[in-house]
Structure 1
């Protein structure tokens, strides 16, 4: 008598940007707040974590034995089929399942190559919007939240430049303006938007973007724009850019 092969695991997906959510297969999975934190910690770690380290970080105010008991309880409250898709564990370590997808990881992938003359046949994948795990105040979240913010800004600016080089000016502006909206005082984001307007031949739009940034920078920080951004608009003026 032959044994049937085990059923394939349902695909698991964690969403950490904008909110915490979990999906296994086609089903949204409701988890306890404690289990959410276990899975979020494992997702942010991106590697197997020793049980004592995980338990001690999440429950620092109890004994090691109590912390390990709480960790086991948090994992075993998840139905077995769901747990198998989400977690890999042995006697000493716990990890997010290697096949589980996490929205945060999209920013870890290198940007696609391409510039002027590159054909564009498919829309680029969306960059998840929002703050990483909003409302969570743990130190291990705060560090990763800032990392995500910086990576997202760079990804948006890179997408803006890439789309502009390919002549996709609407896509370029959407990415550049989203970077500006996320961090209004970030000069490199404004510079990308100005470059798109200049490439399109929209001098008035380029000057308007520059003046908006110059005014905001002076009002908030008492600073003037850098020579690099002033050089972009100087040819449009009959005088040096302020």
Structure 2
């Protein structure tokens, strides 16, 4: 079965199943396809599309550019062997839409569907399968949406999906923490900070996770990272809540090692050892006295 595969996270990638090479498209055609896919549940007036993508040209020229782009898009999406209308529909002469009933795979669609369904569940009711599904969907986020595009509509969609990514990572982080998997929880927290290093509550989560896993030095280092980032980027100090946690960590580090009380067995064992050492020393003293006496006797004979 033929399937159109499209990745919109990071750089745009389009492939047809059974064909190893990527589908080559111009920058403007990639943008048009991305727009139709992200707004795939509705039809779009040609005049609207022409204004979005060629708004700096006259209406007539913009319509001509749109028609040319659509023709080229059909050539790569519906080449020989794939019926026209498989992916691009014309519900009316003045409208264009993407065919949602076609066989296609879209990274954004899977990411949204799986992420939203898991986020709708309270963290305490999540199962291991839910966590695995959410983790797999997050792996689809290989970069921000349409990284090479800077139109207004792309910025809005990019921020929306970025927020979904961060919310999903927070959900997964708290799930792992709730189940005592501190390593996975820390990994989620770090990915959040990679995207948004100013999120102080995530720095606190990491400090707490390091402390819970016995890595107190790393907890201190995380506070120092938080302090430095906030100072450089915003010129502010960490919140009182963060500083309180930091002081608690320092108090943990300052606590002396607890000495295990000596048991009766330990005392008896040590007394036996001392007794044996005394006997050994007495034997050594006797041998030393005998040696001295032998030396004196030998000297007298000489």
Q: State TM-score, norm by structure 1.
A: 0.80
**Aligned counterpart, 1:95:** 97
The answer to whether residue 9 in structure 2 is matched with residue 17 in structure 1 is yes
Please tell me whether the aligned partners of residues 123 and 171 of structure 2 are also in contact (alpha carbons under 8 angstroms): no
**Aligned counterpart, 1:72:** 67
Which one has more relative contact order, counting CA pairs under 8 Å at least 6 apart? 1
Seen in structure 2, the aligned counterparts of structure 1 residues 83 and 223 have a Cα distance that, compared at 3 Å, is farther
Please tell me whether the aligned partners of residues 115 and 166 of structure 1 are also in contact (alpha carbons under 8 angstroms): no
Provide structure 2 residue ranges, at least 5 long, that are not aligned to the other structure: 253-302
Please tell me whether the aligned partners of residues 24 and 85 of structure 1 are also in contact (alpha carbons under 8 angstroms): no
How much does 1:231 deviate? 4.2
Q: Within 5 A, what are the aligned runs for 1:85-234?
A: 85-91=86-92, 92-98=94-100, 99=102, 100-105=104-109, 106-107=111-112, 109-110=115-116, 112=118, 113=121, 115=123, 119-121=127-129, 122=132, 124-125=135-136, 126-234=139-247
Task: Give me the whole-angstrom Cα distance separating, in 1, the residues matched to 2:39 and 2:181.
Answer: 36
Task: Give me the whole-angstrom Cα distance separating, in 1, the residues matched to 2:154 and 2:51.
Answer: 15
Task: Give me the whole-angstrom Cα distance separating, in 2, the residues matched to 1:174 and 1:26.
Answer: 36
**Aligned counterpart, 1:5:** none
Partner SS for 1:185: coil
1:85-137: CA deviation from partner (whole Å, max 9, x where unpaired): 53333213322331533323314532524646865254621141222222322
Please tell me whether the aligned partners of residues 91 and 97 of structure 2 are also in contact (alpha carbons under 8 angstroms): no
Task: Give me the whole-angstrom Cα distance separating, in 2, the residues matched to 1:12 and 1:127.
Answer: 17
Please tell me whether the aligned partners of residues 13 and 23 of structure 1 are also in contact (alpha carbons under 8 angstroms): yes
Partner SS for 1:184: coil
Count of aligned positions: 231
Task: Give me the whole-angstrom Cα distance separating, in 1, the residues matched to 2:117 and 2:214.
Answer: 27
How much does 1:55 deviate? 1.5
Please tell me whether the aligned partners of residues 12 and 146 of structure 2 are also in contact (alpha carbons under 8 angstroms): yes
**Aligned counterpart, 1:34:** 28
Provide structure 1 residue ranges, at least 5 long, that are not aligned to the other structure: 1-7
Q: Which deviates more, 229-238 or 133-142? A: 229-238
How much does 1:175 deviate? 1.7
Q: Which deviates more, 182-191 or 79-88? A: 79-88
Seen in structure 2, the aligned counterparts of structure 1 residues 193 and 50 have a Cα distance that, compared at 3 Å, is farther
How much does 1:196 deviate? 2.6
Please tell me whether the aligned partners of residues 126 and 175 of structure 2 are also in contact (alpha carbons under 8 angstroms): no
How much does 1:83 deviate? 6.3
CA RMSD of aligned residues (A): 2.8
Q: State TM-score, norm by structure 2.
A: 0.66
Task: Give me the whole-angstrom Cα distance separating, in 2, the residues matched to 1:195 and 1:210.
Answer: 10
Please tell me whether the aligned partners of residues 11 and 85 of structure 1 are also in contact (alpha carbons under 8 angstroms): no
How much does 1:176 deviate? 1.2
